[in-house]
Structure 1
């Protein structure tokens, strides 16, 4: 096993954009999730989140990431399901797939505080990213793992604030369903400290 056991402790910087899409454009979800979670509907639309993430030294792994996720619900409880995700670390790819069912693939990245790109997928200009105050963040991620729904807790704190992100998405690429659209909200989560996954067993 070339990746750390869960939970992963991670640090870094994340820029998130939130999009509202017609339900017909929501990415297909694994059939194994039916009955466990449903897309959270806002009338005839759904919320999609995308994020550029720079996992920096000081955590269990350091790597870069681009993801897209759908806001879901389990009864009245909110969930997130990641539908698309790329990293530049084989260890992160393998651990994400095998521990939590997160469908990570590899991609080549260029990522700085003001510019982000993932080859043949998307690029973005990031401006006016103003981290303001440190706040707690918590959510649960539900994915398909070994034919069943697996829900994983994520806990973090970060200095959060508004950002302006101008996306340029490859229309023929896997995020082409967002091409020509604009997010209605973008945020920066700077100096985040994240715990992803369940606690290690004593003696492990």
Structure 2
């Protein structure tokens, strides 16, 4: 299976919610050597996001991911312990280029991973920008890469459903601390050789 060379230039939309979760419940095999999950009073902050990458992207697909903030090499970074995509090219590229543990999944009604309903919303003015790094470990490789994202942000209420026996069961019944959507999103992921 072929996939695009990095960096990947993507566009689309997303919904993201941040949860507070006891640190011992959060998967951590994905952390590279020396990286530590950032915690507060024994709790980690877990972001769950559903993303739709649309035409204009190097690949078009949907993605559900979990991300946690970490301290890595003296800097703030993000690590992705769990992620599902509906594209084999994205799965293979994510794993081989950046050590992101992408797995294949089907999304929509009846998903055994998660479902989300978004209501309400307050638009935040302007275009928001975030830049940073990911820090990953997969198959004995530590990989760090850069990312840059921008888009129009709206604070929302997001109701997530995580099946008890599913891979995100540790989030069942938890209420997000904050949720937002991003429209007209632009994402650059990875580094030019």
Alignment-derived partner of residue 114 in structure 1: none
Q: 1:67–1:84: 8 Å Cα contact kept in structure 2?
A: yes
What is the CA-CA distance between 1:28 and the residue it aligns to?
A: 2.9
RMSD value over aligned CA atoms?
1.6
- What per-residue deviation string (whole Å, max 9, x for no partner) do you get for residues 156-198 of structure 1? 2111120110011111000000011111100111111110000
User: 1:32-111 counterparts in 2 under 5 A?
Assistant: 33-35=32-34, 37-74=35-72, 76-110=74-108
Unpaired runs of 5+ residues, structure 2, are none
Counterpart residue number, 1:113: none
Whole-angstrom distance in 2 between the partners of 1:129 and 1:118: 26
Structure 2 Cα separation of the partners of residues 118 and 68 of structure 1:
20
Query: Partner of 1:3 in structure 2?
Result: 3
Runs of 4+ in 1 over 6 A off after TM superposition: none
| Alpha-carbon distance in 2 for matches of 1:125, 1:154 | 27
Write the deviation string for residues 104-160 of structure 1: whole angstroms up to 9, x where unpaired: 1111113xxxxxx57211111111244432111112111114523211111021111
Give TM-score scaled by structure 1 length. 0.88
Question: Structure 1 residues 145 and 26 mapped into 2: Cα distance closer, same or farther (>3 Å)?
Answer: closer
Unaligned regions of 5+ residues in structure 1, if any? Answer: 111-116
Task: Choose from 181, 186, 189 the match for 1:188.
Answer: 181
CA shift, 1:101, in A, is 0.6
Separation in 2, partners of 1:145, 1:182: 30
Cα displacement (A) at 1:43: 2.0
- 1:131–1:189 contact (8 Å) kept in structure 2: no
Corresponding pairs, count: 192
Q: Judge conservation of contact 2:117–2:159 (CA < 8 Å) in 1.
A: yes
Q: Per the alignment, in what secondary structure is the counterpart of residue 191 of structure 2?
A: coil
TM-score by length of 2: 0.93
Alpha-carbon separation, structure 2, partners of 1:99 and 1:150: 8
Q: 2:111 aligns with which of 105, 111, 119?
A: 119
Q: SS of the counterpart of 1:172?
A: coil
